[in-house]
Structure 1
Amino acid sequence: MSLDTFIEEYHRVFSRSSRTEYVPAVIKEAYNSVVIDVYGRKYIDFSSSASVVNTGYNNPKILGAVEKQLRRLIHYTHIYGFNEPALKLARKLISITGVVDGKVILGLSGSDANEGALFLSKAYNRRTYLLSYVNSFHGCTLMAAKASGIDLSRRVVRLLGEEGKTIFLPYPDCYRCPLGYTWSSCRLRCVEIVKEKIEELNGDVYGLIIEPIQGDGGIIPAPEEY
């Protein structure tokens, strides 16, 4: 099957709503940071395939652990019952975050994680507004889409009639400052804007969500001082 025919078949069977195409390559196998297409061409993958396999491809240590677990128990839900691997994972996650008496919710995606965080935050303090950032992307579920400042998400939210409860702030981009400052002269004016917005809303803010490195907005790291 030619590359063009393969891509045409993809378009025929997969919904466009669930895909964003970047690379016209049909990947067959991978190892470490290298992916190989059906023609044998090799590519170094700097994106870890959308940041979901950032341990590298087919790492022997991980393959060994996965194979060992698959032969013992593929799945037994921790929602209705109990299993030891889920408990070990939850303990590890809490130890990494350093949160005292932390609780874990296992999800399916970044959208899922952000949806849960936003839902819990809103339910906890019952306030009105969320602060987010221009050109941000936090997911495809409803609250995550509402929190996203990238154009496609805003169009989806407008269709749903959910506009108005998220306030979008300028992201701290020191390379192309949206406020027109240079790094030596700004004195972190972008931080003051957050404080001023919270005061303007009389503290009626249930959360602030930020990407430490803005992804879809252009791979922009916020400065450590921010």
Structure 2
Amino acid sequence: MDEKRTRSSSIHENLREQIISGLREYGSRLPSAPQLCKSYGVGMRAVRTALKALKEEGLIETGERRRAVVVYRDSLMEQSADVQSILQRKSSVLAVYQTMELIMPDILTFCAQFSGIIELEHYDSTMKWTMYHRDSLRRWRVPSAFFHDILVSSGNPLLASLYTTLEMYGEAPFLTACQRSMQLNQYKFERQSVSYILDALKAGKPQDVRDSLTSHYRYTTPVWCRKH
């Protein structure tokens, strides 16, 4: 397979998964083409090919000298089965979260060495989220976008695609939008845990990064699917 085609396909699939999952929301702008080139470590041709494919699928709109805009509007009830159906798949959903808890701390810790943390696209918004976030229904998207930045910075889009796939199978977009009854202390811990992750990343201490990520994933597993 042509290498350029492979690279553009990887970028296309990764961005597509972010859009379909709700990580990239309707009306939001993608990074500029030069920024995408830098993030994915590819040339302009591969990025343009990927963006063209997304546009043809009706997921984005592009314009001259403007960053692409997400025009895909997802519906949580169309995107996921109803709550009862998800509850019936409790064991498989739990298995996804256990998998994330097992592998993501090591993968993210490894990938973090390739990036300047404060230069990542969603660093500022994540920092603000840990201090001032008010909308609990969208809490999943902010740290998730930052984690995706770290994975993409490794230069291997497969890792970011893996993460997006796990989130989708774990019903992350649906569950976090539906869990209106989330306990205040749990939500407070979630913000604190992300703050600890940011501090560890900035300090450049891999073991602290891994420990904080492990704690984060262990605690953010949906309460209703934990084993007692």
TM-score bracket for this pair, using the shorter chain length: under 0.3
Higher strand share: 1
Which structure exhibits the higher relative contact order, with contacts defined as CA atoms closer than 8 Å and separated by 6 or more residues?
A: 2
Higher helix share: 2
